[in-house]
Structure 1
Amino acid sequence: MKFVSLLALLPLAAAAPSTSVSAPGLTVPNEAVPQKVRVVGVSLLGSGCPAGTADVQIDASKTLLEVTFSEYIVQTGPGTKASEWRKNCKLTLNLEFDEGFSFSTLATDMSGFAQIPKGSRGLCTNTFDFTGDGEQSYYSIALAGEREGPFTLSAEPDIVSWSPCGGTSAIMNMNTQCNISPTRDAALIAVDRISGKVTVNVSLDWRKC
């Protein structure tokens, strides 16, 4: 697992599959990409994504999925509750695409704001799997103190799992989770103060079945 700091925050975008977005550092070498890809259904569950606070879009190249959260706040310290020390959001995404293709997650990056004192550590993980397939891709992003300000960090998986072949749709499950330890010290992982979002970008790789 490797982590790479990026200098630029990604632009905020609303949920619109036809809108183009860009993500520096995320590349997709495979040129076999379907002509049509659509996100046709999204369900949300978790403390980090109350109803109406998460958006999903796919870019015009069909190789980048962007998920944004507007109320994702993890905080520790005096006066905070256990429910604030850890947040998660599980998204179930139904993607439709041209017949004869399969896809996997190739890399992720995550952007937001962090205020972590010396001696504390934030940890964010993103896991992906496909309904009907047991393999899971796992990405881990560490936020060690001392730091304060916006962050954008990238991660690559140890295991790459592919959506099943033989159809024109796949259901991908994505679980984003962040926590801070120890919980006694004041610390924060939250939406970026400029964009008002926590953003997770997922680079997609396509192959022909």
Structure 2
Amino acid sequence: MRITSLLSVTSAGLGTALATPRNLRVRDVSVLGTGCPYGSADVKVDPSNTALDIRLSEYVVRSGPNTMAADWRKNCKLTLNLEYDAGFQFSTLSTSVKGFAYIPSGAQGQCQNTVDFTGSSSQANYGITLKGSYDGPFSLSANPDIVTWSPCGGSTAILNVNTQCWISPTEKKAIIDVDRISSKLTVRVDLQWRNC
């Protein structure tokens, strides 16, 4: 897994006057899940420093004959430890998933990105649906059901992003897979900042 540090963040947000911390860096990243075996996850920071790109090279969800329950659903949990200037907090604006899918008529694929902060009781959930019949590359985005912010009063936060995809019904042959051109399934998380 490759970890790319963030050096600065461009402001983005809602409503009030916006501010941007001068310093932001990734202290540590860990990845765990059935959709991201060791060495198959790559984390990059967008050049604007307002988005995280999680690229998964072995994320494949399958259903149909000769598949098992472990094939029908996959997940990948990214734990990202961020350090930044005191006096700021951030939240996620939106998430998107980009990959390849074959979903026959009468079936559907579902991807859900759940974002939370370690120590917080609230989560932001982003649901993305792929309805059959569908065959080809896809890029779908979602806004959160609620907005959750990192805690104030410190200079670090641990952001957890859990991506889950599944197919139903499982009897029909279907697949959610990596993009054929990039050979990755990409999850993008957009960030916004504000003063505490």
- Give TM-score, length-normalised by structure 2: 0.91
SS in 2 for 1:84: helix
SS in 1 for 2:70: helix
Whether 1:187 and 2:171 are equivalent positions in the alignment is: no
What is the CA–CA distance in structure 2 between the aligned matches of 1:87 and 1:186, rounded to whole Å?
A: 16
Match of 2:5 in 1: 17
1:54-65 paired onto structure 2 within 5 Å: 54-65=41-52
Aligned AA for 2:183?
G
1:111-190 paired onto structure 2 within 5 Å: 111-190=98-177
In the TM superposition, residue 33 of structure 1 has moved relative to its aligned partner by 1.7
Aligned AA for 1:170?
A
| 2:6–2:26 CA contact under 8 A, matched in 1 | no
In the TM superposition, residue 17 of structure 1 has moved relative to its aligned partner by 3.1
| 1:106–1:157 CA contact under 8 A, matched in 2 | yes
Aligned AA for 1:35?
R
What is the CA–CA distance in structure 1 between the aligned matches of 2:132 and 2:20, rounded to whole Å?
A: 40
Match of 1:22 in 2: none
SS in 2 for 1:83: helix
Match of 1:28 in 2: 12
| 1:39–1:58 CA contact under 8 A, matched in 2 | no
Q: Deviations over 1:72-104 (max 9, x none)?
A: 000001111110000001111101111111000
Match of 2:94 in 1: 107
What is the CA–CA distance in structure 1 between the aligned matches of 2:125 and 2:6, rounded to whole Å?
A: 28
- Give ranges in structure 2 of 5+ residues lacking alignment: none
What is the CA–CA distance in structure 2 between the aligned matches of 1:179 and 1:123, rounded to whole Å?
A: 5
| 1:15–1:56 CA contact under 8 A, matched in 2 | yes
What is the CA–CA distance in structure 2 between the aligned matches of 1:173 and 1:203, rounded to whole Å?
A: 14
Match of 1:42 in 2: 29
What is the CA–CA distance in structure 1 between the aligned matches of 2:52 and 2:84, rounded to whole Å?
A: 14
Aligned AA for 1:56?
V
- Give TM-score, length-normalised by structure 1: 0.86
What is the CA–CA distance in structure 1 between the aligned matches of 2:3 and 2:121, rounded to whole Å?
A: 29
Percentage identity across aligned positions? Answer: 57
Cα RMSD over matched residues?
Answer: 1.8
| 2:87–2:155 CA contact under 8 A, matched in 1 | yes
In the TM superposition, residue 62 of structure 1 has moved relative to its aligned partner by 2.5
Number of aligned positions between the proteins: 190
- Give ranges in structure 1 of 5+ residues lacking alignment: 1-13, 20-26
Aligned AA for 2:174?
A
In the TM superposition, residue 16 of structure 1 has moved relative to its aligned partner by 2.5
